[in-house]
Amino acid sequence: MADETSAAAEPSGRSYRADGIAVYYDARRCIHFGECVRGLPKVFDVNARPWIQPAKADVERVAEIVARCPSGALHYVLRDGPPEEPARPTRVHAIAGGPLQLRGDLVIDTSEGELHEVRASLCRRGASENEPFCDHKCRSGLS
């Protein structure tokens, strides 16, 4: 079952831990949309080191903001709670001059194998060095 595979797989990227939650950040997938910084600036502070400090807010709020990340660069795992649930039905949104944003129960074929995801921003122009994910190499077309 896809949900079991998704829940069992540990997210990729660097982990930032606090009591009850681990936040994972995969810089290669970040499109700098800024939902995290706008949503919880005391937790996601690009001027601080480390820049992600999940202990600065309650676990539920951190998870809520991480789930807003459109690219899937951010993920979370709760120590005592449910895994991040995929959106149902799956949604695809084309950003004018930018990536396809997907939310749902996703299985993405990559050069490293299948990834089970709940969010992703996929390159539509073939310019990404992190295919199939968008890395904004074509950023000049975005506003």
Question: What residue spans define the domains of the chain?
Answer: 2-78, 91-141
Strands (E) located in the chain:
14-18, 21-25, 74-78, 91-94, 100-110, 113-122
pLDDT at 4: 39
- How do the pLDDT tens digits run along the chain, 143 residues long? 333 333 446 788 999 999 999 999 999 999 999 999 999 999 999 999 999 999 999 999 999 999 999 999 999 999 988 888 888 899 999 998 889 999 999 999 988 899 999 999 999 988 898 999 998 877 644 43
Dihedral sign for Cα atoms in the order 12, 132, 114, 103: positive
The CATH code belonging to domain 2-78 is: 3.30.70.20
* 21 residue type, one letter: I
pTM of the model: 0.81
